[in-house]
Structure 1
């Protein structure tokens, strides 16, 4: 299935935005997702250096509003080093929203920004603005679309949004996120939830990996899910310490190797900068992957999608909730 006879694949993707609750729990960034701080910019360089040391490709999904800051040299260096960038909407909106009130982010705070536009008109324009920003500021085309937040069934229940994505030039998306522990929560809540033990976390991580492998919608759009457990969900809800987080990831790599999976870990530089200052997340995953017998493929997500297209991949949609 994988190039050069590799037994499994490992891809590290990063949503580049500021994240509520990080670096401090009272931090609130929902309306200022693009206000990338210096610590996060510096951390992108750390990620790139780790990936390059191990021969891996990083894939960043950018909120377009970050380009309102004239300092994007860290992204220019990222692209020049061969890492990929994709579209994450302009202000971090809900792709499926049909009412302005459900767009979230700046539209929660300032609903008049809609200026008479429908929610889906706003989604389309946010995609267009982010694509234009990437082209003009970085002189590259965006590779893929990552939905803010992710959806428990991807875009399976929304053919219109699938068509919208395709009309905006996206032939693959990354929108499907779920794990068997996941539940709804308020992003701004400061409520501390019960800590989850390592074995339970690892089981949920690997269950998600196993089910949420790439698949294709009837429209032809390719889905590359966010498999496992993201850093935001882990530290907002499950509360591992860093050692437990790294152990969960190590077990996740082992599981992906055993079952020949695409390991697609999704994290956020703004979160890792606060929780994992020495970038152990990237190092531990890549070092473990390269230790495994049979070889590992370390692509960006665009390369994963292109390979699946070339091989005629046609796996049908998955739904973790239906398998529990």
Structure 2
């Protein structure tokens, strides 16, 4: 009997387990720089940093549990949307999380109001609406896929903003410990959901037919992506890391065209373009009018100097 693999929650659970490797990998990095430190010294240093910020053991584990649920929920909705929409569509929709991050940062973190970013949010929402109705209103699962992908983007934004609100400026050791605990909590407490969904027949999961190569590859790539997203700030600017969200869309589109003969036209193409425009507008600096004023002033001075 040919049994297909249909287990999005198990996939999410399996991939999330790999975040337990964050702290061991961080320890190996520290060990290569300072050979005299033990893993207990580095662990106690990270715990002390949390204690200095007022975290008790109960409060810390409660926060970790909350972020674990947010993390798993985000990835589950992302994977579910991939069952309905092409990867390029999902990645474009997920890139809208920068607009959600700005809105939540404005409301929760009281960051500066920037009018052009509000315009960017509206443009992103318009792009999402075009993608939602690109296949019509009735008889198409596209709307459900768009809702799932956009919800994943919103949940990702909630995670990022709440992390800044609750933890603040975290050290690399704190981030590594936090992610490892998320992986441990996921492995320890969410496996009954995998079993329950299998027993209820909601997910099709058979040991003999598990796509181990795909699961292992997805887990490794997810771990690498999260490591780069959280630790590469030490090597480059945070702006460049964020730009990776939108630059991955044309790469994915090229692969979809080559591998699956996908086409990008009409409302789909317009929606992706609007999301990209909104993405770049959100990334504008707070004092962008000053940069434009300086640029215009330099252009005028240059033209005057050339005239004389």
TM class, shorter-chain normalised? under 0.3
Give the alignment's TM-score, normalised by structure 2. 0.25
Name which structure has the greater RCO, CA cutoff 8 Å, separation 6+: 2
Give the alignment's TM-score, normalised by structure 1. 0.24
